[in-house]
Amino acid sequence: MTKLEKVLYTAKAHTTGGRDGGASSCVNQGVTKQKEPRVMEKHTGKQFVITVVDDNPAILQLVAGVLRLQGYRVLEAGCGAEALDAAEHHDKPVDLLLTDIDMPGMDGISLWQEVRERWPETKVVFMSGGAKLDNVDGEPCLSKPFALPELVAIVEDSLNSIPIACQARGFEMNGIPATRLAA
């Protein structure tokens, strides 16, 4: 069995096996989780940290598993409050928030607004099972169901893009700030 087949098999087993009874800040929203967000790292040279947020445990596990196979550090959260808690207590800043839009309690857009306020350098990709959207407020959006290569491509594109607000301030060429190069 390949690694991807194991991820798919585990996700299917998780879906049919029901939810565990663990306590979390998401219990009142009908979502359960483990006591601590799971963080796994595959050492392939990528140092990006991604928080995946979805109230569907099977989708959460599948997406997180695929991203781990690509070498990313992944935090899993079943709701917005859990995602904020994971980001606050992780040893490295979160580079990308990959969040479902339609979730009980704090929806994905509200979560993104909170994340953007606290950590403006964090990028976002939305996931939507409802309307077929290309972007939300200018940010990329994956419509469910999506192909796994599409997921990987949009994550890589988002992580490798330079935020417009940071382009002039953070860029240097041969040690000279970009703002001085324009003069």
Token pair listed for 157 = 């594109």
Three-class DSSP category at 52: strand
Strands (E), the chain: 39-40, 49-53, 73-77, 96-100, 123-128, 135-136, 139-143, 172-173, 176-177
Q: Answer whether 87's CB lies under 8 Å from 115's CB.
A: yes
Three-class DSSP category at 49: strand
Cα separation, 77 vs 82, whole angstroms: 5
Q: What is the pTM of this model?
A: 0.69
Q: Answer whether 156's CB lies under 8 Å from 99's CB.
A: no
Read off the pLDDT of residues 88-108 as tens digits, 9 standing for 90 and up: 999 899 999 999 999 999 999
Task: Read off the amino acid at residue 168.
Answer: A
pLDDT for the residue numbered 135: 64
Indicate whether 21 pLDDT > 50: no
Read off the pLDDT of residues 130-150 as tens digits, 9 standing for 90 and up: 767 666 778 999 999 999 999
Q: In terms of residues, how long is the chain?
A: 183
Q: Domains along the chain?
A: 3-181 (3.40.50.2300)
Q: Answer whether 153's CB lies under 8 Å from 98's CB.
A: no
Q: Answer whether 100's CB lies under 8 Å from 53's CB.
A: yes
Cα separation, 40 vs 37, whole angstroms: 10
- CB atoms under 10 Å from CB of 13, counted, come to 11
Read off the pLDDT of residues 27-42 as tens digits, 9 standing for 90 and up: 444 444 443 444 444 4
Token pair listed for 154 = 């949009």
